Amino acid sequence: MTTSIFQYSKPKVIQALRFHFISRKEIKYLMIFVNVFALFSAGLFYAKVISPFAFLVSSVLWIILMIVGWFVMPQLVYLRSPLFKDSIQATLTQDYFGIENNRSSKQWAWPSFSHWVESPHFFYLYFDSARFFLVPKEAFEGDRVHEARKMLSQYIG
């Protein structure tokens, strides 16, 4: 059994949410499409096929989509989740992963998770492709990070 108490760091959570969004297939495809569209419209503008106004509109749309994806979406998710502002106790046992704060507690049996992903600062415990729980690595001191990684590998997917 591994137990740790942690608090989230806002900049690290925002970066983790960006990582999650960018790793999703539909976001990758949207970014590729938007960038190809921007390059295509720049080529058409250079060839004088479209007007400067049309190029300006396509450029503004590109900028807006990039700002929304990089800044707005992660901020909204962070602000909507009160859990990111609490002190949390996480427990990993042979049977479940559990969290507890001063208001409530919740436990999930390991089969509740479809897979897990590791980034430089977090473990992402995925329920499905869109829902996940972030566990900061800094919650586990020293060799306990390796112990947590071992348990996640053993019990999830």
Tens of pLDDT, residues 58-80:
889 889 988 998 999 999 999 99
- pLDDT given at position 69: 86
Please, what is the average pLDDT of the chain?
92
Three-class DSSP labels, 124-145: EEECCCCCEEEEEHHHCCCCHH
Measured in degrees and rounded to the nearest 5, phi and psi for residue 121 equal: -115, -10
Q: Reply yes or no on whether the pLDDT at 34 is more than 90.
A: no
CB atoms within 10 A of CB 28: 12
Q: How confident is the model at residue 84 (pLDDT cuts 50, 70, 90)?
A: very high
Mean pLDDT, residues 25-49 taken together: 90
What is the pLDDT at residue 152? Answer: 94
Three-state DSSP state, 86:
coil
For residue 89, the cross-strand partners are 5, 100
Element (H, E) at 100: strand 96-100
pTM of the predicted structure, to 2 decimals: 0.84
- pLDDT at residue 24, rounded to an integer: 87
How far, in Å, CA of 153 to CA of 157, rounded? Answer: 7
| Mean pLDDT score, 9-30 | 92
pLDDT in tens, 129-157: 889 999 999 988 888 899 999 999 999 97
Residue 91 has pLDDT above 80, yes or no: yes
| Termini Cα distance of the chain | 19
Q: What is the pLDDT of residue 54?
A: 87
DSSP 18-52: HHHHHHSHHHHHHHHHHHHHHHHHHHHHHTTSS-H
Q: Which CATH number fits domain 2-7+86-155: 2.40.160.60, 2.30.29.30, 2.40.10.220, 3.40.640.10?
A: 2.30.29.30
**pLDDT higher than threshold 90 for residue 123:** yes
